[in-house]
Structure 1
Amino acid sequence: MLAWTALLVAIVVSFRPTVPVIWGDTPPFVESALLTLETGRPTVAGGRDPGYPALLAVTVAFGGDLSTVVRLQQAAWAVLMLALAATAQTATRNAAGLVPIILVALYPGLLLFRHVLTADLLFAVFLNLAAAGLLVANCAGRTARCCAVAAAVLCAAVAACLRSQGMLVPIATVLVGACVARPDTPARVAVIALSVAAALALLAAGSRFGASDSDQSSTVFLPKTLFCNHLNIVLASDAARREIVSAAGDRADATMARLAADFAAEPGRWPVLGFFGDACLFDAALDRDVADDTGNAVGAASAYRSIFLAAVRDRPLAYAGKFVHQMAYGASVAWPPYGLEPAIPVSTDDVPLVSDIITRHGRAAEPIDLQGGPVRIGLLSDLPGISAYLFKALSTAFVIAVLFWAVTAVWRRRPEFSARAGIVVVMWAASIVTAAGAHTLDVWRYLVPAVPMVSLMLSLCAVELAACLRRD
Structure 2
Amino acid sequence: MSPGPWAVLAWAALLLAIVVSFRPAVPVIWGDTPSFVESALRTLEAGRPTVAGGRDPGYPAFLAVTFAFGGDLGTVVRLQQAAWAVLMLALAATAHAATRNAGGLVPIILVATYPGLLLFRNVLTAELLFAVFLNLATAGLLVATCVGKTARCCAVAASVLWAALAACFRSQGILVPIVAIVVGARLARPDTSARLAVIAVSVAAALALLAVGSRFVASDSDQASVVFVPKTLFCNHLNIVLASDAARREIVSAAGDSADVTMARLAADFAAEPGRWSVLGFFGDACLFDTALDRDVAGGAGNAAGAAAAYRRIFLAAVRDRPLAYAGKFVRQMAYGVSVAWPAYGLDPAIPVSTDDVPHVSDMMMRHGRAAQPIDLQGEPVRIGLLSDLPGISAYLFRALSTAFVIAVMFWTVTAVRRRRPGFVTRAGIVLVMWAVSIVTAAGAHTLDVWRYLIPAVPMVGLMLSLFAVELAEITMADHAARSATIRRAMPSGPGSGSSVS
How high is the TM-score relative to the length of structure 2? Answer: 0.93
Kept in 1, the 8 Å contact 2:353–2:380? The answer is: no
In structure 2, what is the equivalent of residue 186 of structure 1?
Answer: 193
SS at match of 2:350: coil
Cα distance per residue 1:151-176 (max 9 Å; x no partner): 00000000000110110000010011
Give the one of 133, 137, 141 matched to 1:134: 141
Cα distance per residue 1:302-358 (max 9 Å; x no partner): 000011000100110111011011011111111101111101111110001001111
Structure 2 CA distance for aligned equivalents of residues 155 and 372 of structure 1: 33
Instruction: Give the 5 Å matches for 1:410-421.
Output: 410-421=417-428
Deviation of residue 399 (structure 1)? 1.1
* Cα distance change on mapping 1:297 and 1:368 into 2, 3 Å: farther
Question: Does residue 1:343 correspond to 2:335, yes or no?
Answer: no
Residues matched between the structures, number: 472
In structure 1, what is the equivalent of residue 452 of structure 2?
Answer: 445
Deviation of residue 107 (structure 1)? 0.2
Letter in structure 2 aligned against 1:385: G
In structure 1, what is the equivalent of residue 407 of structure 2?
Answer: 400
Deviation of residue 369 (structure 1)? 5.4
Structure 2 CA distance for aligned equivalents of residues 215 and 104 of structure 1: 38
Cα distance per residue 1:241-294 (max 9 Å; x no partner): 111111001111111111111111011111111110000000001000001464
Cα distance per residue 1:420-460 (max 9 Å; x no partner): 00000100001000111111111111100000010000000
Structure 2 CA distance for aligned equivalents of residues 229 and 187 of structure 1: 47
SS at match of 1:471: helix
In structure 2, what is the equivalent of residue 378 of structure 1?
Answer: 385
In structure 2, what is the equivalent of residue 329 of structure 1?
Answer: 336
Structure 1 CA distance for aligned equivalents of residues 71 and 261 of structure 2: 49
Instruction: Give the 5 Å matches for 1:66-465.
Output: 66-292=73-299, 294-368=301-375, 373-465=380-472
Structure 2 CA distance for aligned equivalents of residues 106 and 293 of structure 1: 52
Give the one of 11, 35, 40 matched to 2:47: 40
Letter in structure 1 aligned against 2:200: A
Kept in 2, the 8 Å contact 1:147–1:191? The answer is: yes
Structure 2 CA distance for aligned equivalents of residues 316 and 308 of structure 1: 11
Kept in 2, the 8 Å contact 1:36–1:57? The answer is: yes
SS at match of 1:348: coil
Structure 1 CA distance for aligned equivalents of residues 378 and 16 of structure 2: 29
Deviation of residue 368 (structure 1)? 4.3
Kept in 1, the 8 Å contact 2:37–2:60? The answer is: yes
Structure 1: tracts of 5 or more residues without a match: none
In structure 1, what is the equivalent of residue 478 of structure 2?
Answer: 471
In structure 1, what is the equivalent of residue 484 of structure 2?
Answer: none
Kept in 1, the 8 Å contact 2:258–2:299? The answer is: no
Kept in 2, the 8 Å contact 1:111–1:378? The answer is: no
In structure 1, what is the equivalent of residue 5 of structure 2?
Answer: none
Structure 2 CA distance for aligned equivalents of residues 286 and 469 of structure 1: 61
CA RMSD of aligned residues (A): 1.0
When structure 1 is superposed on structure 2, of 376-385 and 109-118 the one drifting more is 376-385
Structure 2 CA distance for aligned equivalents of residues 278 and 71 of structure 1: 32
Deviation of residue 372 (structure 1)? 8.4
State the identity %.
84
Kept in 1, the 8 Å contact 2:52–2:220? The answer is: yes
In structure 2, what is the equivalent of residue 5 of structure 1?
Answer: 12
How high is the TM-score relative to the length of structure 1? Answer: 0.99
Structure 1 CA distance for aligned equivalents of residues 259 and 349 of structure 2: 48
Kept in 2, the 8 Å contact 1:351–1:368? The answer is: no
Structure 2 CA distance for aligned equivalents of residues 377 and 170 of structure 1: 32
Letter in structure 2 aligned against 1:146: C
Letter in structure 2 aligned against 1:92: T
Cα distance per residue 1:71-130 (max 9 Å; x no partner): 000000000000000000000001111010000000001100000000000000000000
Cα distance per residue 1:344-392 (max 9 Å; x no partner): 1111100010011112223323324567842111211111111111111
Kept in 1, the 8 Å contact 2:355–2:380? The answer is: no
Larger radius of gyration between Structure 1 and Structure 2 = 2
